[in-house]
Amino acid sequence: MSAADLSGRRIVVSAGPTFEDIDPVRFIGNRSSGKMGFAIAEAAARRGAQVVLVAGPVSLPTPPGLQQRVDVRSARQMREAVIAQLPADVYIGAAAVADYAPAEVAPGKIKKKDEQLTLALVRTPDILAEVAVHARRPTVVVGFAAETHDVEFYARGKLEKKKVDMIAANRVGVSGSGFESDDNALTVYWLDGERALGPAPKTALADQLLDLILARWPA
Ligand code: PMT
């Protein structure tokens, strides 16, 4: 790693969760804090890249040196914000995008009536998969995979199905990695290889992931 080894590269990073509203007071979301994606954005900017950070609802300060931070709430808004940033050299999808959203958002607070409530959910747009086949596809498309078990099986499945260049897989549901914690451990998979990174602080892993991307796609 050198101080400005990403100089001239345009990198779009997504981070944090998306919230899919059920009514004006409730939503479907997950436990992402945004720390992993923000660490990647900060490291890339420090190394000279022009970085656009598309962030879901998080309570993190904007890292120094970014070209732009775009705050969004839902998967649909995140998709629009990311696609609007293409073309780019690299897209890194660290956001934990909700896979399903309520089919309809109730205009008023849903009142408690019956013992059970059934919500109709619809799939959200798959931003990573769309970026990977877009006419303005970045040179390098990197996804994440958050898994509780069979990490390699599911990560390699996403690598193939979403047509991305690399998948950085992390274990969730255990302490010291994945959501919310300051530390993480990644196994990065590509078609004919893999590399284990960490366990380490997310700030250090961000630099190691960028090193790996640079090593495989030198300028
Ligand atoms: O934010 P932190 O608290 O620091 O936690 C970090 C993290 C655990 C959120 C992060 O390291 C991580 O794993 N991010 C991806 C989480 C996730 O949603 O994984 P997934 O396996 O469900 O999705 C696979 C990939 O597809 C991801 O790159 C995701 O951004 C993308 N995706 C998923 C669904 C969707 N509708 N659109 C997408 O782009």
Question: Of the candidates 153, 99, 161, which has an alpha carbon nearest to the alpha carbon of residue 126?
Answer: 99
Q: What's the token pair of residue 128?
A: 């990573």
Q: Buried (b) or exposed (e) across 116-144, using 16+ Cβ within 10 A?
A: eeeeeeeebbbbbbebbeeeebbebbbbb
In a mutational test of the pocket of ligand 1, which residue from 74, 80, 83, 128 has the highest number of ligand atoms less than 8 Å from its CB? 128
In this predicted structure, what is the pLDDT of residue 174? 87
Q: Dihedral, CA atoms, 72, 75, 78, 80, nearest 10 degrees? A: -120
d(CA 52, CA 19): 20
d(CA 146, CA 123): 18
In this predicted structure, what is the pLDDT of residue 176? 86
From ligand 1's centre to the CA of 115, what distance in Å? 33
Is the ipTM value over 0.90, yes or no? Answer: yes
Residue whose pair of structure tokens reads 């109730």 in the numeric block: 106
Residue 160: Cβ within 10 Å count: 12
Would you say 176 and 183 are in contact if contact means Cβ atoms under 8 Å apart? yes
Q: What's the token pair of residue 123?
A: 């799939």
The phi, psi pair for 209, rounded to 5°, reads -65, -40
Residue 217 CB-density burial (10 A; 0-12 exposed, 13-18 middle, 19+ buried): middle
Q: How many CA atoms lie within 13 A of 123 on its CB side?
A: 3
Residue ranges of the chain with per-residue pLDDT less than 70: 1-2, 219
Going along the chain from its start, the domains and CATH numbers come out as 10-107+118-216 (3.40.50.10300)
Question: Catalytic: which of 5, 23, 26, 30?
Answer: 30
In this predicted structure, what is the pLDDT of residue 2? 56
Residue whose pair of structure tokens reads 């992931």 in the numeric block: 209
Would you say 170 and 185 are in contact if contact means Cβ atoms under 8 Å apart? yes
d(CA 135, CA 124): 21
182 Cβ closer than 6 Å to some ligand 1 atom: no
In this predicted structure, what is the pLDDT of residue 177? 86
Q: Which residues pair with 200 in a beta bridge?
A: 184
pLDDT tens-digit readout, 27-57:
999 999 999 999 999 999 999 999 999 999 9
In this predicted structure, what is the pLDDT of residue 125? 98
Q: Is 130 helix (H, G, I), strand (E, B) or coil?
A: helix
Known catalytic membership, residue 170: no
Would you say 58 and 75 are in contact if contact means Cβ atoms under 8 Å apart? no
28 Cβ closer than 6 Å to some ligand 1 atom: no
From ligand 1's centre to the CA of 47, what distance in Å? 24
